[in-house]
Amino acid sequence: MRPVVLERLMRYYRYLSEVTARKNIDTITSAQLGATLHIDPTQVRKDFGAIGLMGISRVGYEVCEVCRAIRLVFGFDRPYPAILVGAGHLGKALLSYPGFVRYGLRFIAAFDNDPSKVGLTEAGLKVQGIRSMKPFVRKNNIKMAVLTTPVSVSQTITDRLVSAGIQAIWNFSPTRLTVPEGVLIRNEHISLGLAQVAYHLNALRTEENGELPTLDQPCDEPCRPEDL
């Protein structure tokens, strides 16, 4: 299934699980759903048909059935045990976020190479040294890893993960990773989104104040790497 289809399925899922929690809605038509999410109703019916759902004329689809069918496509009901590599600020935030289990991710171990972090308990998991990572992944047949390491070590860690059997990496480390075919890398560049927000505000500020960026001053600031 193509990413663009998966994305639409997720939009249906989020909306339907949200709306049914608030209101007592049992059924929804493709027209209603399409209008709310700005998706062509024909597309909605096509997407639903592709995952085995049949609507009833003028009644629509059972909301609960739709949610369940989408959960089956993604495997949300059988969360994957996953490991976190890199127990910095972002790593700890991800570990302690309870919402991921709904989307198929359950952290069962965390690793870091910083001796001051190893042994600490974060969100109920004891941070282990990076040397334990590979044997742990092999022994427990782990397929999913979440990466929040500094860029300088991300590729090395990735190679080790893949050689231990990892098949999918959710990468928050701001770098491009190389993996063999068949292994999935999903990159999340949160700072990229922030940068676009900052650019918009900076452009407004520059417009209002008539200030123009200048490179005249000497460059005395060090370039600081991203801190994860």
Per CB under 8 A, which of residues 39..58 are in contact with a second copy? 51-53
- Give CA–CA dist 152/91, Å, rounded: 16
Among 22, 58, 181, 209, indicate the residue that binds a second copy (CB under 8 A): 22
Size of residue set near a second copy by CB under 8 A: 91
The interface mask with a second copy, positions 179-208, x = CB under 8 A, is -----x-xxxxxxxxxxxxxxxxxxxx---
Among 63, 87, 127, 147, binds a second copy (CB under 8 A): 63
Which of 7-15, 40-48, 107-115, 155-163 is the region at the interface with a second copy (rule: CB under 8 A)? 7-15
User: Which of 113, 151, 155, 160 contacts a second copy by CB under 8 A?
Assistant: 151
Instruction: Name the residue nearer to a second copy (CB basis): 58 or 224.
Output: 224
- Give yes or no for residue 2 binding a second copy (CB under 8 A): no
Q: In the chain, where does DSSP find H-type helix? A: 3-22, 30-37, 41-50, 63-74, 89-96, 133-140, 151-164, 190-209
Radius of gyration of the chain (CA): 22
DSSP three-state, residue 184: strand
* 31 vs 194 by CB, closer to a second copy: 194
Tokens at 93, concatenated: 């935030």
Report yes or no: 125 and 149 within 8 Å, Cβ to Cβ: no
Footprint (CB under 8 A) of a second copy, residues 70-129 = 72-78, 80, 89-90, 92-94, 96-100, 102-105
H or E element that contains 27 = strand 27-28
Look at residue 101 and give its three-state secondary structure: helix
